[in-house]
Structure 1
């Protein structure tokens, strides 16, 4: 499929990952076909995705029933099943991971419990446990980029884990995350341990920003800026990326084989039906980045997406957009904090719903 528009994005050194996983997509061979036809280079998951997978099919019922009488808690049972799925997906992507540049891509992400999003020590403990249990080189453990989890990110990197830092909405926090990554690599190097095999991404969320900011802009008579804030922030984040992962401090790590943490554009499914459904893919195509997109967005881009190197264009416009937003009295750091708080809750709710579903299925089995 030489004319596949999704696959064409990789010509501009951006990797497309799928923000979705369930057993059916692996069982039917669809995921393998997407790797081949679309040039898909990774998968991300989160509690909401797993909740949909558990709720929308009977694929997990047999495994849950078989463990209904076990001493595992509902959460432990969930992770046992999720780890099995993540291993299968990681194995499907191992050829990508083990490609011409080993470890450049081919990663599958598994997230720590959203209940731990503000807990430093419990997060690092679960991250280490999941890493050991999945036991795949091409797995990333997702850790939220909250203030309490910054030390956990540093410790995870220092311990040699691949890390996907999630729930990023603001520039200040993103830069703090890059420092945690670099410091973790420095800690590891100081212990005489290699830094060359560690990969990381920083998941910068997009559509949720515009959904919150756009009504504020309309109230202030700035309707022409609707849908522009998230993209402008992403371009500013990329400028931070290029600055941070250069210079003397980074070069000392790069000389030892360290890889810079790539920016990953997340929340790229369009939530505003008046906006083109491929917007958050088309606007941010550029080098050494990742876009993790829902299945519907990938299908839409394959059908009518436009492939151009857009990430490094319009930088002056992006800067002007953010200045106008600031001058209008909209505090984007306050916005990012609100979105982080809401994001944690949006992951907690489906996570608890999924655990309740598991509990109900176990109870039903015991009553038979």
Structure 2
């Protein structure tokens, strides 16, 4: 008899060495066993959240109304306090449902991520303080605090890792930015080891964004005269990710990393984010199939996860075609498409979008609060 798990492409990603995470959190989904089912049937090993996800969950549904009403009946709380109380409860529930995965894999996976306020993206000390506060509030070892990979975020990441707080570095678009935060992770572990503290239970992922890069670069390709670069469309984000993975492989082979590995340190895995395909001309599983490979994570919105379960094809694509990927990036550079400038712009826009989503979230929660109090 055929093992159903062996035929499930999501389970096959796990067998290849890639963690499958769900980019979605919702109270009803948790209470009705949605996450538990994905863990059992599809091998899902993690969950990510962000302000936009919480805005949809809290502001555009009635899933939280009963809990909001109960909180407001007990005491008057601000929209921010209301959101944070409910978000922390959701993250705790998700972490508890993934605790078996975390324990079974000895801390190598099984994490849930919660974001620091995007208002603090350029505030190192504010980010550190908020991360400590959220870490204490959730109080789960399989929590990751999401910190943007901005210039101000890198020193915060180093400090948080030194303190033993797990970090999901978010909003990475460029290889240079990835190398900066990878160095911050290693430096944090080295500082922790120098203090005589264990490094074998501190974890981090570096979230590298994909579809947004192609959206920008495809528009630049379309603006070129003729069709001289049409064959590059839909390829630049994947090539950029493969270059980042090559840098990861170089790092973990270094003497510097091997010294930490001998102490049991876990590498900071690259996490592929923004994997929902935005261009309808492309495969709906493009950013999963083309970046399947070991020691990585792919966090998928529900629609992408379901699509990959249905018709995803597995091959170790991440370690294939490295020379071809470099050729894609060299051509893009020769044509003046300015990937570096695009990624800098995307990083700024990413922070701005999360700030806007957080504004929308607090506005929606505030309107709910007013209606419930009335």
Q: Same fold (TM over 0.5)?
A: yes
Instruction: Classify the secondary structure of the residue corresponding to 2:72.
Output: coil
Contact 1:166 1:202 in 2 (8 A): yes
Measure, in 1, the Cα distance between the counterparts of 2:16 and 2:368: 47
| Deviation sequence 1:119-159 (CA, Å, 0-9, x none) | 11111100011011101011110000000111111111011
TM-score relative to the length of structure 2: 0.96
Instruction: Look up the match of 1:259.
Output: 266
Post-superposition offset of 1:175: 0.2
Instruction: Look up the match of 2:257.
Output: 250
Aligned counterpart in structure 1 of residue 83 of structure 2, from 74, 78, 87: 78
Aligned counterpart in structure 2 of residue 170 of structure 1, from 164, 170, 174: 174
Structure 1 segment 118-133 matched on structure 2, within 5 A: 118-133=122-137
Contact 2:102 2:110 in 1 (8 A): yes
Contact 1:13 1:286 in 2 (8 A): yes
Contact 2:55 2:364 in 1 (8 A): no
Instruction: Look up the match of 1:113.
Output: 117
Post-superposition offset of 1:345: 1.5
Instruction: Look up the match of 1:300.
Output: 307
Stretches of 4+ aligned residues off by more than 6 angstroms: none
Instruction: Look up the match of 2:323.
Output: 316
Post-superposition offset of 1:71: 5.0
Measure, in 2, the Cα distance between the counterparts of 1:9 and 1:153: 28
| Deviation sequence 1:326-354 (CA, Å, 0-9, x none) | 11112222111100111111111121111
Instruction: Look up the match of 1:347.
Output: 354
Instruction: Look up the match of 2:368.
Output: 361
Post-superposition offset of 1:287: 0.7
Post-superposition offset of 1:75: 1.4
Contact 1:65 1:361 in 2 (8 A): no
Measure, in 2, the Cα distance between the counterparts of 1:127 and 1:186: 20
Aligned counterpart in structure 1 of residue 194 of structure 2, from 190, 195, 198: 190
Q: Which moved more, 1:2-11 or 1:234-243?
A: 2-11
Instruction: Look up the match of 1:98.
Output: 103
Post-superposition offset of 1:257: 1.1
TM-score relative to the length of structure 1: 0.97
Measure, in 2, the Cα distance between the counterparts of 1:344 and 1:125: 19
Contact 1:210 1:230 in 2 (8 A): yes
> Are residues 1:331 and 2:335 paired?
no
Instruction: Look up the match of 2:44.
Output: 40
Q: Which moved more, 1:35-44 or 1:215-224?
A: 215-224
The count of corresponding residues between Structure 1 and Structure 2 is: 366
Measure, in 2, the Cα distance between the counterparts of 1:296 and 1:364: 32
Aligned counterpart in structure 1 of residue 235 of structure 2, from 211, 222, 228: 228
Post-superposition offset of 1:66: 2.8
Instruction: Classify the secondary structure of the residue corresponding to 2:292.
Output: coil
RMSD in angstroms over aligned alpha carbons? 1.1
Post-superposition offset of 1:245: 1.8
Measure, in 2, the Cα distance between the counterparts of 1:46 and 1:289: 20
Instruction: Classify the secondary structure of the residue corresponding to 1:127.
Output: helix
Post-superposition offset of 1:263: 0.2
Aligned counterpart in structure 2 of residue 219 of structure 1, from 218, 223, 230: 223
Measure, in 2, the Cα distance between the counterparts of 1:18 and 1:52: 16
Instruction: Look up the match of 1:88.
Output: 93
Contact 1:201 1:263 in 2 (8 A): yes
Measure, in 2, the Cα distance between the counterparts of 1:142 and 1:231: 23
Instruction: Look up the match of 2:20.
Output: 16
> Are residues 1:68 and 2:72 paired?
yes
Q: Which runs of 5+ in 1 are unaligned?
A: none
Post-superposition offset of 1:115: 1.0
Contact 2:59 2:368 in 1 (8 A): no
Instruction: Classify the secondary structure of the residue corresponding to 1:202.
Output: strand
Contact 1:64 1:358 in 2 (8 A): no
Contact 1:263 1:289 in 2 (8 A): yes
Post-superposition offset of 1:72: 3.5
Measure, in 2, the Cα distance between the counterparts of 1:55 and 1:4: 34
Q: Which runs of 5+ in 2 are unaligned?
A: none
Contact 1:68 1:363 in 2 (8 A): no
